[in-house]
Structure 1
Amino acid sequence: MVLGGRGAHVRCLGKRRKERCTPLTRQTGQLLQAWLQEAGQEGSTKLFPNIHGGPLRPDTVQRLLVRHVITATLQCPSLNCKRIAPHVLRHSAAMELLQASVDISVIAFWLGHEWIRITQVYLHAHLALREAALARSKPFNGQKGGRYKAGDRLLAFLDAL
């Protein structure tokens, strides 16, 4: 993790040893800086090291996540029915960024995708969620429901623009 300079960010090695760099908000940077001081690791390059100071292995990350999901299930029993894995957290973060209107190319960069078409899966999922929400909504003031279909004149006008 790098704090200060050109902005706080975290560098991670992902699948196939691909490096990912994720910028942090000022608030997140400050919280992580406090975490490193509290954990007695100031100056460390590992945000969450193993007991020997090295990187966490993927199976260790999975085991820690399962432990915390079990704890969270006490407050939110619906988590019991869901499959939660580290990669699911990545997908959730991408969807949150989309809902916050972050540009898809920025999301692709943060996720470490080499091609933007890989990231467009999130865009299609996001649109499908909106469509499903619209389908469940009721018409306002007794108006006819359903999807709006533009007439030929309107479509011709729009085509001419």
Structure 2
Amino acid sequence: MVLYYTGSSLVWDYAPGSVINYTFLNVSSATLANYTSTYQKVANIGTVSKLQASSRLKVTYYGRIKVNSVTGTGGYFELRVDDAATTNGRANANFRADEVGYTGGVTVCISGVFTGLSAGTRTISMWVRASGSGTGTGAQINPGSWAGDYIIVEEIK
């Protein structure tokens, strides 16, 4: 904690931009049998405790994604907090049609910043959709149930 001037007063608090809390979540293997061009939930991954209403959450997934089939050119996996997408850019990774069906999946890193969340318990989830008007089968996170797939959630002042 530091003492800093906000322009109108002195504040004893975490320095702006500092990490005030972090959570490590293991990602279990999960599969959604069928998906469309509208985002659908693959799985809830875990919960985190957000300490301050004024902070933001940086959520990062390190792991693998896989789909068994897709019509069209590919699709997207997306991280969400409390079933809502970030309003600060994107928190997704795309997959192309030529990457479909690979047994081991594709390694990705998905990161996003989530703002406007009150303090309290928050749920982290992964969603999927096909591009265009496509559909698909077998959308999976952590295919093979490897211990190396995880999410780090940083609460930033």
TM range (shorter): under 0.3
Tell me the TM-score normalised to structure 2 length. 0.20
Tell me the TM-score normalised to structure 1 length. 0.20
Higher helix share: 1
Larger RCO: 1 or 2 (CA < 8 Å, sep 6+): 2
**Structure with the greater alpha carbon radius of gyration:** 1
